[in-house]
A and B are shown apart, each in its own frame.
Chain A
Amino acid sequence: MADLHKLTIAELSEKLAVGECTSVEIVNDVLAAIDATDGKVGAYLTIDRSSALEQARAADAARAAGKKNPMLGIPVAIKDLLNVKGQSCTCASKILEGYVAPYDATVIAKLRAAGAVLLGRVNMDEFAMGSSTENSALGQTRNPWNLGHVPGGSSGGSAASVASDEAIASLGSDTGGSIRQPAAFCGCVGVKPTYGRVSRYGLTAFASSLDQIGPITKTVKDSAILLEAICGHDKLDSSSIEMDVPAFGKNLTGETSLVGMKLGLPKEYFVEGMDPEVEKAVRDAVAHCKSLGAEIVEVSLPNSKYAIAVYYIIATAEASANLARFDGIRYGLRVDGKDPIELYGKTRAAGFGSEVKRRIILGTYVLSSGYYDAYYLKAQKVRTLIRDDFTAAFKQCDAILAPVTPTAAYKLGEKTDDPLKMYLDDILTTPVNLAGNCALSLPCGFSSGGLPIGLQIIGDAFAEETILKVGHAYEQTTEWHTRKPEIS
């Protein structure tokens, strides 16, 4: 094979444009890579080979007929919570067994219009609840850099598929870090767009005020291209913003200077318990940005330390309402009962995994009569304080640099018995979802154990161009993103 699966969207798009390869060849190479390595990595839940090849042939025909788009003919792996008409959409849960999506999510419709190839569905934590993909009811995904370690989550299948060259790019979703953290753990690039930038129509909702769909890719440029393809106002999502979509991809031109850019370093984000290797890699990345001309200023985000407490009240509250729809009536699993109440209780007992049950119960409690003010309303008020911190910080700087996670990827099974311990790892990513702004994760080093370390670049609301520019400059002048795992 021609190793086309190892290339980026930008590289393949150029090759396709000049006729050096076809989409069918790319898809064949990617399918061969899946055959060779997915038995070890376990990124995919389903692959529809004949449909992928059919889409590739259609893309090649469209190109021959004059169609041009940077996503035309590029195979993309889809996180299993996005509805693709005619495909399963299980959210890695037993409760959605047998469900066939009767419609396309808006991001899927946009990818189809761009001519991308929908390659298959990748694993995740059940209903996106988790940070290691170990909460999937359907299979185990492993970190391509070390198969004994987690890929991160909840978009673990997305990141693992891209890192192992089993996909050119992937769509994930980020409610509290579910794009950025697995991207960091697997050495990929991931973007959590500003809330409202990307339509959530057809995304199975976890926490509606926090969820955003975004790209996981091999480079910053690729994230820009894929992000551009999925952004834009959608009348089917009333929280999507009416705003022009910048030419994210085209605007990245290889510029490596950061002169005139002010980058903030939040003193509170080098938290207790952080692995010294992670701290060093991130501080080195900060120094590198300074050497590219950026001015580094200290900023303060004092209320971010409350983000986990706020997040696990707000996210579970919203989840308890959103997941009420999985009741065994209209689709998915049904366990019969003598009346509907018994049916609901039995169906949800059999269909949901432990973490989902735990979060629904917590969310139901914090919304329950007598406790709403003490928990949910209070959390919403502290959310305002967290947001105000970012607003103040962005008066002093153009973007914020921080770690993505306190440690590199940990071992499979290491944290599954202690939910709170697993939650605390989200301390550096959840504040961004609560504030609603955007952030990018990209590789900035490796641990002594050979596992990737991520740098987080946080932007103000709708400042995706700024964080992409900083990430692109960093990436152009470092080599971390060029390394590939040896999967064994």
Chain B
Amino acid sequence: MPEANPGMHVSDIAHLARIDLTSEETALFQSQLDQILHYVEQLNELDVGGVEPTAHAIPVYNVLRKDEIGQSLDRDAVIANAPAATGGQIRVPKIIDQ
């Protein structure tokens, strides 16, 4: 684990996470998250060589099901939740410039 979190720049990470932060938020989160990352450095005390990671707590793997046609959600109810929709489709800003 890196010692003093040299890589943790809140503004860069917030961009990756697609959250626009104000400069006040950026400064506040930087100090709070530095403190939290410093706290989690205690895990460096442990030797975890040879320890298997636990991704989830129960021994269930690759649950397969039959590929059967089932009941889907009601399309109108789903589309009604969209912030913008037209003709039974969700409207979004233009993605590709021509």
Chain B 43-69 near chain A by CB (<8 Å), digits 1 or 0: 100101001111111101001010000
| Least distance between A190 CB and chain B CB atoms (Å) | 19
Instruction: Please report which residues of chain A, range 225-251, place their CB below 8 angstroms from some CB of chain B when the two chains form the complex.
Output: 235, 238-239, 241
Rounded to whole Å, the gap between the CB of B44 and the closest CB of chain A is 8
- Interface status of B14 (Cβ within 8 A of chain A): yes
Docked pose: A376 CA to B52 CA in angstroms: 13
Bits for B64-98, please: 1 = Cβ < 8 Å to A, else 0. 01000000011001101111100000101111000
Chain A residues 436 to 470 lying within 8 A of chain B, measured CB to CB, are 436-437, 461
CB within 8 Å for A360 and B2 given contacts A383-B53, A423-B36: no
Known contacts: A338-B93, A436-B57. The answer to whether A102 contacts B29 by CB under 8 A is: no
B35 within 8 A of A: yes
A336 vs B15: C-alpha distance when bound (angstroms): 17
CA distance in complex: A479, B31 (Å): 46
Give the tally of cross-chain contacts (CB within 8 A): 174
Nearest-CB residue, chain B, relative to A374: B1
Chain B stretch 1-35: residues in CB contact (< 8 A) with chain A: 1-2, 7-8, 10, 13-21, 25, 29, 32-33, 35
Taking each of A338, A361, A364, A371, which has the highest tally of chain B beta carbons within 10 Å of its own beta carbon? A361
Q: For chain A residues 284-343, which have a beta carbon within 8 Å of chain B?
A: 303, 306, 308-310, 312-313, 320, 324, 327-334, 336-343
Query: Chain B interface secondary structure, helix, strand, loop or mixed?
Result: loop
B binding-site residues for A, Cβ under 8 Å: 1-2, 7-8, 10, 13-21, 25, 29, 32-33, 35-37, 39-40, 42-43, 46, 48, 51-58, 60, 63, 65, 73-74, 77-78, 80-84, 90, 92-95
Q: Which 9 pairs show the lowest CB-CB distances between chains A and B?
A: A436-B57, A380-B53, A334-B83, A331-B81, A238-B63, A102-B77, A381-B48, A344-B18, A345-B20
Task: Pull 28 A–B residue pairs with CB atoms less than 8 Å apart, ordered by A.
Answer: A100-B77, A100-B80, A102-B81, A196-B58, A196-B60, A239-B56, A306-B42, A327-B18, A329-B83, A329-B92, A330-B78, A331-B82, A334-B83, A336-B93, A337-B93, A340-B93, A340-B95, A345-B18, A348-B17, A348-B19, A349-B20, A362-B37, A379-B40, A380-B54, A382-B48, A385-B48, A387-B54, A420-B36
